[in-house]
Structure 1
Amino acid sequence: MAEVLRPIGTVARALDSISNIEFKALDLNRGQYLYLVRVAETPGIILERLAVIVRVDKTTAARAIQKLEKNGILERRPSPTDKKQKQIFLTSKGQALYPIIKRENAYSNATALKGFTPAERDQLADYLKRVEANINSDWFKVKHGEHRNY
């Protein structure tokens, strides 16, 4: 069987490392750009949903959100429908950072796909969505206490 996870991991770690280095100048620490982008894409998202989207536990997401709040990038507001829930939004500082992160993502995407035809790009995107769907089912099971059978 062809090994696909190793190169996917290598690419993901390399891009994450590049982003962490470049975004340090924007007052973003390790991986915080992920939270900023997801909140920008879904203003008013709640912590539990954000944690699932980023594929981390709730405690990890809460810590990241707290740090981003402290740096004035995100803010939490009470939900108008459920006072126990807090919705997360970008501040004006976060809104100013979002286009920079989007440009970096577009650049990285273009670099990664250099030399691919449009059809190959679409095919790769489809394959990776299928890989993600396959892994997601295991991720949800394990996060809810089940074990995988190897």
Structure 2
Amino acid sequence: MKKIDKAIKRMSSVIKTLHKTGRKNCSNNYTFIYAPGAQHVGPIDTQIVIGEKAFDSDDEQETELPDCLATKEAMLLWQSAMDKGWVDENYQPKLSRTLSALLAYEMAKRLKIKDKWKTFEELWHRNNMHSDYNKALTQKQSLEFKDELKNL
């Protein structure tokens, strides 16, 4: 019975994510695939499968933060980011890649983390965050978000 409950919980989470992507009609035949770090949930004919994790999640565990991101000061920043809806309870970003890179940069600056990109790429299962950051600097939406980051 426990596996069924976990599967239902995971499916509910995926459906919520699907709704956030803007799809209004969820009654179509979709197959959902859980992929760590995925940015989009789409129909099976366009979905790229990354990893083997699906609905059998016995190995589910909380994210383990590196020491530099688990300090008292860091936990205050994480809590503020959670309160603003920028990261989830497992410290994973709920933002676009570019805005996530801005968040990572700001947190690393405040926490004096030297190897910021490697640290956040490992935590968030992403690559090329420095490129995402550079791209963010050219986007209009980033200016507003940078102002919000001042209140983190």
User: Do the two structures share a fold, i.e. TM-score over 0.5?
Assistant: no
Return the structure number with greater strand share: 1
What's the TM-score, normalizing by structure 1? 0.32
What's the TM-score, normalizing by structure 2? 0.32
Return the structure number with greater helix share: 1
